A and B are shown apart, each in its own frame.
Chain A
Amino acid sequence: GAGVSQSPRYKVTKRGQDVALRCDPISGHVSLYWYRQALGQGPEFLTYFNYEAQQDKSGLPNDRFSAERPEGSISTLTIQRTEQRDSAMYRCASSRPGRSETQYFGPGTRLLVL
């Protein structure tokens, strides 16, 4: 596709529910990153995939958060038993082979946990 796409763009859920956020990277991009951004701050790293391999998940805040990229393209970030503190903008980025230093971002998913 022309750019990174994310869905849904907005998600409102009740505390305790599970949510799945999807990222569709730019075609041919092998590296994929998830970030979380609180209001008034820059994004914070969550996890990184190279192809289908999750090579770094050090930024995931706790075990309620997980991510997968089974076929090395689309990725899903799942938050189980959501809490109000999970409310944030979740951003996905991808980068070209051999050019991981430059990441291209999607529009983000705004998650609101009530």
Chain B
Amino acid sequence: DQQVKQNSPSLSVQEGRISILNCDYTNSMFDYFLWYKKYPAEGPTFLISISSIKDKNEDGRFTVFLNKSAKHLSLHIVPSQPGDSAVYFCAASRMDSNYQLIWGAGTKLIIKP
């Protein structure tokens, strides 16, 4: 049973426009959510996170939205830049599980010039 799902394997966005990456989860007990960005041949790089007690967290061009009733979170990148082209992973964790991360399968974002 996949607890964290990223249903879009890939997404193509024009440079300068908004990129929206989506993530759904099934376990209502998750209390922390993270987005990681991964370039080829590198490890995942932490991007932004949100606690379950919040519905929005913003950091520069990156904003994460959490809709707990829908068990859905999204990452908005605006404006999108060529360097944003990467695979984006959504992950979730619970404090009572030592914050072990449960991951989605990733979405490959391609920013077109």
Contact = CB atoms under 8 A, between A and B. Distances in A.
Given A41-B105, A42-B106, A102-B34, A95 B99 contact: yes
Nearest to B51: A101
A91 B49 contact: no
A114 to B, nearest CB: 21
Given A42-B106, A100-B98, A103-B99, A91 B43 contact: yes
Nearest 8 A/B pairs, CB to CB? A42-B103, A105-B43, A45-B100, A100-B99, A101-B32, A107-B43, A105-B44, A101-B99
A103 B46 contact: yes
A40 B105 contact: yes
Interface residues of B, number: 25
Interface of B: 4, 32, 34, 36, 41-46, 49, 89, 91, 93, 95, 97-106
A67 to B, nearest CB: 14
Contacts of A72: none
A40 B4 CA distance: 14
21 contacts: A31-B99, A41-B103, A42-B103, A42-B105, A43-B44, A43-B101, A43-B103, A45-B100, A45-B101, A50-B98, A56-B97, A56-B100, A59-B100, A93-B101, A101-B32, A101-B95, A102-B46, A102-B49, A103-B101, A105-B44, A107-B43
Contacts of B102: 45
A62 interface: no
B105 to A, nearest CB: 5
Contact of B91 (A42, A59, A106): A42
Most chain-A CB neighbours within 10 Å: which of B34, B91, B99, B104?
A: B99
